Amino acid sequence: MTDKPGCVHLLRHGPVAGEPALYGRTEVALAAGAQGLLAPLFAQDCPYDGIISSPRIRCLHTAQALARRWALPLAVLPEWAELDFGRFDGRPFSELTAQWAELEAFWQAPAVHTLPEAEPLAVFHDRVLAAWQALLAQLGAQRLLVVTHGGVIRQILGHLLGADWRQGALQSALHLPYASLTRIWCWPGEVCQIRQLAALPQQLLWQEEAQWRPA
């Protein structure tokens, strides 16, 4: 791996203003002060060549603000959106007590127990991997920021780690805090290394990307 790698930062959106729920297609605003968690990122000199965002406003508002801050191109791509949780999407857990057995079955084996009218996990998995492979195909030595969702990031990490994406353990074993960034270096041939996992912006090791910054 002697060629210069590309770099992808996967940013999970900040905390949301809604009650605890499964938020997929449902639009929900960021909580007050959510952007403050990203202050160290906004304070950086531009470390990227472009930004990609899910179309959901909890991602898009941050992506738009960063694109303005750094005068970068922004691509809004629906394939980076979260899993659609069907009839349970956006409904507070407090309203789903009668459906708790369905939720528990989904969390244990999401590929087997699809929620009512939800996007099947296999469809979601294929959608996310297609988006990831399309990104790698045009990455080269670029530095890209992708503002997306926890479920999307877990599917990519599971793919890179060879984990079984069909099992609920992938969700519980990979803790991705709100506003955390995962850094991945990629070489031609889809050879990738996870350089930093789910770090908050103030904990990022920016020095490794210094080679890309202009002199």
What are the structural domains, with CATH classification, of the chain? 6-212 (3.40.50.1240)
pLDDT in tens, 129-173: 999 999 999 999 999 999 999 999 999 999 999 999 999 999 889
pLDDT in tens, 80-127: 999 999 999 999 999 999 999 999 999 999 999 999 999 999 999 999
Gap between the Cα atoms of 132 and 152, Å rounded: 10
Mean pLDDT of 33-55: 93
pLDDT in tens, 47-71: 999 999 999 999 999 999 999 999 9
Q: Is the pLDDT of residue 206 over 70?
A: no
Residue 140: per-residue pLDDT:
95
Q: How confident is the model at residue 209 (pLDDT cuts 50, 70, 90)?
A: low
- For the chain, give the number of residues: 215
Q: How confident is the model at residue 215 (pLDDT cuts 50, 70, 90)?
A: very low
Mean pLDDT of 13-37: 95
Mapped onto helix, strand or coil, the DSSP state of residue 16 is strand
E strands, the chain, are 6-12, 50-53, 74-76, 143-148, 181-187, 191-199
∠ CA 179-183-189, rounded to 5°: 140
Residue type at position 18: G
Residue 2: per-residue pLDDT:
52
Q: Is the pLDDT of residue 200 over 60?
A: yes
Positive or negative, the CA dihedral 136, 138, 139, 144 is negative
Residue 214: per-residue pLDDT:
43
Gap between the Cα atoms of 114 and 107, Å rounded: 10
Q: Is the pLDDT of residue 19 over 70?
A: yes
Closest alpha carbon to 181 in 203, 158, 164: 203
Is the Cβ–Cβ distance between 135 and 51 less than 8 Å? no
Please list, in sequence order, all residues whose beta carbon lies within 8 angstroms of the beta carbon of residue 67, skipping any fewer than 6 positions away: 51, 73, 74
Give the β-pairing of 50-53 and 191-199: unpaired
Closest alpha carbon to 163 in 133, 194, 186, 139: 194
pLDDT in tens, 178-194: 999 999 999 998 899 99
Q: What is the pTM of this model?
A: 0.94
